[in-house]
Each structure stands twice: as C-alpha cells, then as structure tokens.
Amino acid sequence: MAQPLESSTATRPRPQAKGKPYWVEPLVTSVVLGVWVLYSLWEVFFHNSGTYGNYVSPYFSPGVGKWFGWHLLDALYVAWVPFLFRFSCYYYRKEYYRGFFWDPPACYQVDKPRPRYRGETKWPLAINNLHRYFWYLAFIVLIFLWKDAVEAFFFKNGFGVGIGSLLLLINAVLLTFYTFSCHAFRHMVGGRKDCYSCDGKPTTAYKLWHRVSQWNVFHGTWAWASLASVWAADLYIRLLIMGVIHDVRLF
C-alpha cells in the first residue's frame, strides 16, 4: 500500500546527528558571547583608561576621548565601532540568531511559525545592512591597533618584548585576518564583478578576490580567534592596571 507523502518540514523525519547534538553549538555560542558582552560593558562603562605604560587596551584605541579632552568613559567613544562591526558580521549573525534567538537553532530544525517575518528590513536588525560601512570604520581602528602593537615593543628603557607586546601583536594580526576575510570586503574587492577578464586587461581584482576568498573560508575561525585575542589583551592590561599581576618581560 502506498505511503502518504509528507507535506512539510515539520513532519519530515530529521536525520540523526552523527556528531555532537545540534544544540551544543548555539548553547556554547550564547554563553561565550553573553559573557563577552557583559565583560565588555564592565570594561567600557566602569573604566576611564586602558593604558599601562606603552600598552594600550584595544577597547580604548584610538584614544578619541583624550584627543578632545574628554576623560570620562574613554572606551565609549571608540568601542562601538568594533562592536557594531561584529554585531553586523554575517558570520556572527548566524551564530547569535541561533544562540540567542534559537530561531531556528541549527540547520534542519523546525522553525517557529512567523506570520509577520520582517527579517532585517526593520529596526533594529536593519542596522546589519550597514555592515560594509562599519567595515571602513573598523579598518581605521585596525590601523591604530597596529600602531599600538608596534609601540608595545618600545619601553622607557628601549626595545623589549613583554607578554603585553606579544598579546597586542597577535591581536593585530588576528584582527587583520578577520577584517580582510570579511564577506563585504570580498564583495568590495571583486565579488560585485560579473566578469574579470571581459575587458582583456590583467585581472588584479581577480587575484585579490581569490586571496580574500581563501581567507574568507576561515572567516568564522578568524572571528572567534580575534574575539579571544581582544579579550586576552584587554584583560591582561586591565589586570596590570589593577596591580593584580606584573608584566613579564621576555627580554
């Protein structure tokens, strides 16, 4: 006897997961991002400075507040840039839609019925459409972070290497990969073109797009690694400022 055809995703049998259960990744994501957001709020709203000697915390760079003589909540003037850059990142969107909204928590999971689905066409999620503009701002911040990374090797008594120097350097490197593996940047450098060789000219755009595409494959990895490096560099400098630890100079 013929079996009735299933009519919707809701009644379709789901494949058995071979690895970890589907809810592990969104759960871990929501916990890690939640703790990071709380830590960032504490850092931005409860501290006026992120400088220890030649080390500058990535939350406080560039020191826009100092440029204008505003010394209250110095991180507030700049921390919104990397925050919005990450918030609107295509990779993080997937992660926090799954982790925080559980909507749906993973591929092939039943979605909630949404009679008035508006997606990213309305406030507040519509701000995600500005991602490419946040990229430009994040790029400017990245230049300052490289400056801070270089200056972290020059102490009062000359060139040296401390744990803080290495953390700031690693942070600048990982943020560079994160920034230049961005989907929006990939589109900017060549993804918007329909043909790379139609005009018969050398295809520099293609080579650039190809290289960015290679980095883009690991965009999620750069996203998490750079988040960890920002966190680690800031925490190290914060603990130095608080006197909890002393800087370790390797030479």
Task: Compute the least distance from the CB of residue 131 to ligand FES, in Å.
Answer: 6
User: By CB under 6 A, is residue 182 in contact with ligand FES?
Assistant: yes
Q: Which SS3 state, helix, strand or coil, does residue 91 take?
A: helix
Strand blocks (E) in the chain = 51-52, 55-56, 154-155, 158-159
Complex with ligand FES: residue 81 or 163, whichever CB lies closer = 81
Complex with ligand FES: residue 98 or 219, whichever CB lies closer = 219
CB 79 within 8 A of CB 44: yes
Q: List phi, psi (to 5°) of 19.
A: -100, -135
User: By CB under 6 A, is residue 90 in contact with ligand FES?
Assistant: yes
Task: Compute the least distance from the CB of residue 233 to ligand FES, in Å.
Answer: 19
Residue 203: which residues within 8 A CB-CB, separation 6 or more?
196, 197
Complex with ligand FES: residue 183 or 210, whichever CB lies closer = 183
What does the per-residue mask of binding to ligand FES show for 29-58, with x meaning CB under 6 A? ------------------------------
Q: At what angle do helices 76-87 and 131-151 cross, to 10 degrees?
A: 130
User: By CB under 6 A, is residue 89 in contact with ligand FES?
Assistant: yes
CB 66 within 8 A of CB 207: no
CB 162 within 8 A of CB 152: yes
User: By CB under 6 A, is residue 87 in contact with ligand FES?
Assistant: no
Write out the binding residues for ligand FES, residues 91-110 only, by CB under 6 A: 91
Complex with ligand FES: residue 90 or 206, whichever CB lies closer = 90
Which residues make up the interface to ligand FES (CB under 6 A)?
89-91, 131, 182-184, 219
